[in-house]
Amino acid sequence: MGCAASAPIDQDPAAKQRNDEIDKSISQEKKKRANENRTKLLVLGAGESGKSTILKQMTLIYGTGFTPNQLETFRQAIQINILVSIVSLIKAMDKLRIPFGFKKPVDADEATRRLAAFSTNLLLEITVVDSNEHSMDDVQDESQLKSTCEEGRSGSTTDPIADLSKQEFAVAGGTDTHESRVAALAREFRKLDHPSFGFNLKMAMQPETIAAIKEIWNDPGIQYCYTRANEFQLMDSCAYVMQHIDRISSADFVPTNEDVLNARIMTVGVHESNFKVGGMMLTIYDVGGQRSERKKWAQYFDDTQAILFLVAVSAYDQSCMEDDQTNRVVESMNLFSSICNHPLFKKTDMVLFLNKIDLFQTKIETRPISLYFQDYTGAPNSVQESAKYFIKRFQAINKYPNDKQIYPHLTHATDTNMTKKVLESVFESILKGNMEAYGMV
């Protein structure tokens, strides 16, 4: 009773034999895995964090490249990416109230002077009427710009250039009413439905379609809209596909490796890949990062030796596709917490990729992260200090610092050379950890 030691209970010989057989089987399985050096790696992260791009890089670096059928899929995908991008920009013009042909001022002072030019009674009356007509849209848009204590939301409310575009939009009208050739072309594209837009994807895109897309893309209003891409949903590869539109749309187009890495296909379901890295066999699971896909993750948690978690750190100023309110990096932090602190992963080290560091570097030159994360006190334009801030934020999420480590890396997933160096370091650490776990070192 109580704390007194209990006498050993005689075990049935048959039961003992079964237990011994189970122990032997487990021991043999461990030895088999050690000999095979097979590792199960989960690639996790929120939507559009770059998970599939990392898998493409692994295929290029450790696999046999892409098959003709896969290249055909990517050819169609990247052409659809062109259409999705231009339609997204056209719709954003009305959401942000930017007129076609809008000439962006060189600075805030010029914007203020041009705003003053609208101060006649007639134009003020037009502006008031337009504001009333768009009142519901304004409530939604401006609510995202008001100062707030909610983390990941901008505290900035003053933008004379945006105010000027709204004034000119009130006079010129939006996509439906603007009297210009570009607006007329935009109206035709806005009628198209996703995802194939009615085009025969087995054929080259028609020259008149490409010419229209290029004309819309080169419109100064569209270009200004693109600079505000953090305020709406636009794929990161937009500028890339527009830059290469002539080549991508040609009849004999075959995607290059760079094209494949920039092609955007939303991951749905779970994709398994197998690679041999040095003496280690890797089984990698890439799962969709959208909220609706995450319920599928749990069934792959068992027997995981390593987790690679990706964060699109460049999205510090963007909202999630699912609700258009939650900051994407905040969403990643919440998701990381649920994985990092899951009981199954209490002793599972995690590799953290702060991805899209190239876009991050460009953004912070004009949009400091302190606008969205008010506790950041480092240099506003320093990539090193800004990245270090996010690394510390993610590492602080770990509730089991004595049992597991978080290994951070800054990555640019479309850069093959950089990605190869990072992956080599990651896989070397995983291999070493496996050998230690099986008592081989």
pLDDT at 32: 57
Which stretches within 173-303 are classed as H helix?
Answer: 181-190, 207-217, 220-227, 238-243, 245-248, 257-262
Asked if 112 contacts 161 with a C-beta cutoff of 8 angstroms, the reply is no
Q: Which residues are catalytic?
A: 48, 53, 264, 286, 290
- Flag whether 107 is marked binding: no
What single letter denotes the amino acid at residue 402?
A: N
Closest by Cα among 238, 228, 408 to 318: 228
Instruction: Tell me if 263 is assigned to a ligand binding site.
Output: yes
Mean pLDDT by 10 residues, the chain (441 residues): 42 62 57 64 90 94 93 92 94 95 86 73 46 37 40 68 90 84 91 60 79 97 96 95 95 95 83 85 77 59 84 94 85 92 88 96 94 94 96 97 93 95 89 56 46
Q: Is the pTM of this model over 0.75?
A: yes
Q: At what angle do helices 51-62 and 416-437 cross, to 10 degrees?
A: 80
DSSP structural state of residue 212: H
Q: Tell me what pLDDT residue 127 has.
A: 45
For the chain, give every residue range classified as CATH 3.40.50.300.
35-66+267-432
Residue type, 4: A
Is 433 annotated in some ligand binding site? Answer: no
Q: Which CATH number fits domain 35-66+267-432: 3.30.1360.20, 3.40.50.300, 3.50.30.10, 2.40.50.100?
A: 3.40.50.300
Q: What is the pLDDT of residue 395?
A: 97
Instruction: Please give the radius of gyration of the chain, using alpha carbons only, rounded to the nearest integer.
Output: 27
Distance, in Å, from the CA atom of 351 to the CA atom of 311, rounded to the nearest integer, reads: 11
Report the SS3 class of residue 410.
strand
Residue for token digits 């991508």?
248
245 assigned to a ligand binding site: no
CATH of 76-118+159-261, one of 1.10.1040.10, 1.10.400.10, 3.40.50.300, 1.10.10.10: 1.10.400.10
Exposed e or buried b per residue across 241-278, where buried means at least 16 C-beta atoms within 10 angstroms of its C-beta: bbebbeebbeeebebeeebbbbbbeebeeeeebebebe
To the question of whether residue 365 is assigned a binding role by annotation, the answer is: no
Q: What is the pLDDT of residue 30?
A: 53
CA 265 to CA 325: how far, in whole Å?
A: 23
Q: Where are the beta strands (DSSP E) in 222-367?
A: 270-277, 280-287, 306-312, 350-355
What's the confidence (pLDDT) of residue 49?
92
Instruction: Please state, in angstroms and rounded to a whole number, the distance separating the CA atoms of residues 239 and 362.
Output: 14
Q: Was 265 annotated as part of a binding site?
A: yes
How many Å from the N-terminal Cα to the C-terminal Cα in the chain? Answer: 44
Sheet containing 306-312: give its strands across: 270-277, 280-287, 38-45, 306-312, 350-355, 406-410
In this structure, what is the dihedral angle of CA atoms 100, 95, 266, 372, given to the nearest 10 degrees? 110
C-beta atoms surrounding 71 within 10 Å: 16
Which backbone phi and psi does 39 adopt, to 5 degrees? -125, 135
Q: What is the DSSP letter of 226?
A: H
Residue 61, marked binder: no
For residues 280 and 285, what is the distance between their CA atoms, to the nearest angstrom?
16
Domain(s) labelled CATH 1.10.400.10 in the chain stretch across 76-118+159-261
The residues, any chain, with a CB within 8 Å of residue 189's CB and separated by 6 or more, are: 83, 86, 87, 90, 212, 213, 216
- Cβ-based burial of 292 (10 A; exposed 0-12, middle 13-18, buried ≥19): exposed
User: CA-to-CA distance for 89 and 229, rounded, in angstroms?
Assistant: 8
Two structure tokens written together for 43 = 């690639």
- Any known ligand binding at 341? no
Query: Residue 55 in 3-state DSSP?
Result: helix
